[in-house]
Amino acid sequence: MRARIHRSRVTHERWLVSYADFITLLFGFFVVLYAFARADEKKKAEIPQAIDSAFTAMGAFPDYSFKPGNDRSSRGPAESSTVVMGAQALTPNMVKDDLNRIRHELEQRLAGQVAQHTVIIKMGRDGLVISLREAGFFNSGSAIPRSEALLALRKIAASLAGTVYDLRVEGHTDNVPIHTPQFDSNWELSTARANHIGRVLLELHAIPPDRLSAAGYAEFHPVDTNSTAEGRANNRRVDLVVTPRIAINFAAGKPATSNGAWRKITEDDQ
């Protein structure tokens, strides 16, 4: 009986083992890269929060200057509005530039109302003034904004959201006395209109409640003569005054001394 000779079988598929090892290592390499990338994103998100917390503790920035998820850089071009971190830390020229940017943005958003002269946007003594004329926002003798005016208010809210400026809503009337079941005088009418506009802006999250105020001035702060119908129409308005927390004479273009807790602006800040 002849002995069987066992011969090893030669295979040409051993390269598959090395290839599988290579693919496994390559997969692990990309997993590590992905993990590092995710870690970098987390760190980038933590850095501005850490900086903001530090400056807030020092009193340089308000508490609302940064909030996670409120990064306006992720919004589209039509909704973007640069967040100014801490108006108190800015020089007068920087504040003016930023308010002028908001002004130009609003002029584009409200081009139709500006063309119809129902919205007037200008720089005033205290800051940016967005003047809403009665003809475009209220019925005569009424303090409730028209439904068609809400679109313009939404556009204004979109431009103001994310800023750190204060907003003062001012109601104004002409000098024609009013006495209705709702309002005994122009004081009540002007105040009610300011309150209603302020409430709408709060509901649209345009401005935090602690930075919003409303006031009624009746006929005592006119912008035009009350001796003509056109002048009286111009005086019937609600002004939205966007003001920084530093005192600047915007009309004169020169810095002014601040009061209260505000710091003094000197020529060195220019």
43 is a domain residue: yes
5 has pLDDT over 60: no
67 is a domain residue: no
Helices 92-109, 150-160: crossing angle, 10 deg rounding: 150
Do both 82 and 145 map to the same domain?
yes
* Nearest alpha carbon to residue 105 among 164, 146, 161, 30: 161
Give pLDDT, residue 173. Answer: 98
Q: Which residues contact 3 (CB under 8 A, 6 or more apart)?
A: none
Q: What CA–CA distance (Å, rounded) separates 264 from 246?
A: 8
User: Looking at per-residue confidence, does 160 or 77 come out higher?
Assistant: 160
Q: What is the pTM of this model?
A: 0.63
Do both 89 and 52 map to the same domain?
no
Provide the domain limits for residue 162. Answer: 77-269
Domains identified in the chain, total number: 2
Do both 41 and 162 map to the same domain?
no
Do both 82 and 202 map to the same domain?
yes
Residue 128 DSSP code: E
Q: Which residues contact 112 (CB under 8 A, 6 or more apart)?
A: none
194 is a domain residue: yes
Q: Which residues contact 228 (CB under 8 A, 6 or more apart)?
A: none
72 is a domain residue: no
pLDDT in tens, 219-250: 999 999 999 999 999 999 999 999 987 666 66
Q: What CA–CA distance (Å, rounded) separates 177 from 182?
A: 13
Do both 106 and 233 map to the same domain?
yes
pLDDT in tens, 79-127: 334 434 444 457 888 899 999 999 999 999 999 999 999 999 999 999 9
Do both 108 and 224 map to the same domain?
yes
Do both 103 and 217 map to the same domain?
yes
Do both 149 and 121 map to the same domain?
yes
Do both 173 and 254 map to the same domain?
yes
64 is a domain residue: no
pLDDT in tens, 122-166: 999 999 999 999 999 999 999 999 999 999 999 999 999 988 899
32 is a domain residue: yes
Do both 50 and 144 map to the same domain?
no
Do both 125 and 198 map to the same domain?
yes
Which of 31-40, 59-68, 192-201, 243-252 has the lowest average pLDDT? 59-68
Q: What CA–CA distance (Å, rounded) separates 130 from 124?
A: 10
1 is a domain residue: no
User: Looking at per-residue confidence, does 241 or 48 come out higher?
Assistant: 241
63 is a domain residue: no
What CATH number corresponds to the domain at position 136?
3.30.1330.60
User: What band does 50 get if pLDDT is binned at 50, 70 and 90?
Assistant: low
Do both 45 and 167 map to the same domain?
no
